[in-house]
Amino acid sequence: MSSFAPLSKGDGSNDAAQYTKFDAADAEFFKGIGTIPYKPDAGPTETLVYKHYNAKEVVRGKTMEEWLRFSVCFWHTFRGTGADPFGFPTLVRPWDDGSNTMENAKRRLRAGFEFFTKLGVKYWTFHDRDIAPEGETLAETNKNLDEITDLALELQKKTGVKLLWATCNLFAHPRYMNGAASNPDAHILAYAGAQVKKGLEIAKKLGAENFVFWGGREGYHTILNTNVLTELTNMANFFRMAADYKKKIGFTGTLLIEPKPKEPTKHQYDYDAMTVIGFLKHFKLENEFKLNIEPNHTTLAGHGYEHDIVMASAFGLLGSVDSNTGSPDLGWDTDQFPMDVKNATLVMKTIIEQNGLQPGGLNFDCKVRRESTALADMFISHIGAMDTFARGLRNAAKILEEGVMTKHVKKYIMDNGNPTACSGQQEHCEAMLNYYV
């Protein structure tokens, strides 16, 4: 999220008419790009087609669409500007005038639904502050949210696109610099509570299938000014109140916590899957929450790509996936589109083994590189990732169908029950996996 406005061309052409033409009911935002077709025989240079993702193809009793439940995130794809700590925005979106107005917010939303529809993705996700501008008071902010979610509901009905999850941005505003649920100032904690109350209400209104908590500022930079047990207890109480309010209003979506070890705080309380599972069990919240796992966060925690997905699933708590990747050679959250077939295969194997993610899905919490400035790049990036996961699904289905790899683990245990030194056969297992990817 950035306060930088999109680039002005600086040639006087950025006048109001340039944007207001997108207010027309029949305005098309992505001219020249139609619905993305499935074309399995396409060559390497054709990147605006699906070569592997065939939505209605049945794999192990479910369609690809049902297994994969792809979702586009609104924050990166419609609020990302390409700004980074060293540079100004690079991404010009012709409908976005960079203003904090409701008109601009509505244009972005309508551009979003055209994008989801042309891509053929059935779900979207957002933070409250991505979709509607924050007002001077909470009442004004909530009024903006009411108006925008009326439009979102209308667009959802018209397109059939559904809300995978909503979340509250409890980290960008300066009021949250010392945390939201874990903030030592009760006034701020109360503000966060009021924000989540509204968040759950709009989630219900839009039929969200889940609701996510990512604790961006819940953690510490130095232990010297922090009472960790008080903060963790306050967080648990906050989560309990959210779970109670969910029941009170009859919202049926699953509540999800998204682990991340660091960034923006030096140490985040929701460090990784096992930390969150331990927290939930300690505070007796494990029946109210599941986990939303983002592999870029997993690798930042020093684990292998699929580790948190496997751990959360093993405890019956894998709710959804923020499907992305980092660069393992970097130490920060690059939110890249997942393009590694082997990683996708391992993730999909776990997902098939737990019989799917529903009501969760694969949400692309990913951003195009700031150098990828063309509108077509928004499509190409998602298509590439969807094809990667379609291949992962096919590979994982084959692994499970043939059973060679799973039988190998079972047979090994039977044949080697006696705990004497014997080969773990890692290389043999790796060679078998490579046969499938």
Annotated catalytic sites, by residue?
127
Examine residue 333 and tell whether it contacts ligand XUL (CB under 6 A).
yes
Among 114, 294, 308, 387, binds Co ion (CB under 5 A): 294
Residue 187 CB, shortest distance to Co ion, in Å, is: 28
In a 3-state reduction of DSSP, which class is residue 325? strand
| Contacts (CB under 5 A) with Co ion, residues 314-333 | 322
Q: Which residues contact 124 (CB under 8 A, 6 or more apart)?
A: 71, 72, 73, 74, 112, 116, 161, 162, 163, 164
**Closest separation in Å from C-beta 255 to Co ion:** 15
Farthest CA pair distance, the chain? 79
Least spacing, CB of residue 285 vs Co ion, in Å: 20
Cβ 147 vs Cβ 131: under 8 Å: no
Identify what 212 binds: ligand XUL, Co ion, none; CB under 5 to 8 Å per kind. ligand XUL
Minimum separation from the CB atom of position 335 to Co ion (A)? 8
* Position 365 contacts Co ion (CB under 5 A): yes
Contact 278, 286 (CB under 8 A): no
Rounded Cα–Cα distance for residues 82 and 84 (Å): 6
Which three-class secondary structure state does DSSP give residue 209? coil
Does the footprint of Co ion cover residue 308 (CB under 5 A)? no
Residue 128 within binding range of ligand XUL, rule CB under 6 A: no
| 333: DSSP letter | -
Site track for ligand XUL across 247-286, x = CB under 6 A: -----------x-x--------------------------
Phi, psi values for residue 344, rounded to 5°: -65, -35
Q: Which is nearer to ligand XUL, 366 or 383 (CB)?
A: 366
Residue 299 binding ligand XUL, by CB under 6 A: no
Q: How many residues does the chain have?
A: 437
Q: How far apart are CA 334 and CA 107, in angstroms?
A: 27
Closest-CA residue to 109 (of 156, 48, 165): 156
Tell whether residue 322 is a contact of ligand XUL (CB under 6 A). Answer: yes
Q: Determine if 114 is a binding residue for Co ion (CB under 5 A).
A: no
Q: Which is nearer to ligand XUL, 74 or 379 (CB)?
A: 74
Nearest to residue 308, comparing CAs of 340, 275, 281, 286?
Answer: 275
Contact between 388 and ligand XUL by CB under 6 A: the answer reads no
Residues near Co ion, by CB under 5 A = 294, 322, 365
Residues near ligand XUL, by CB under 6 A = 127, 167, 212, 214, 258, 260, 294, 322, 333, 365
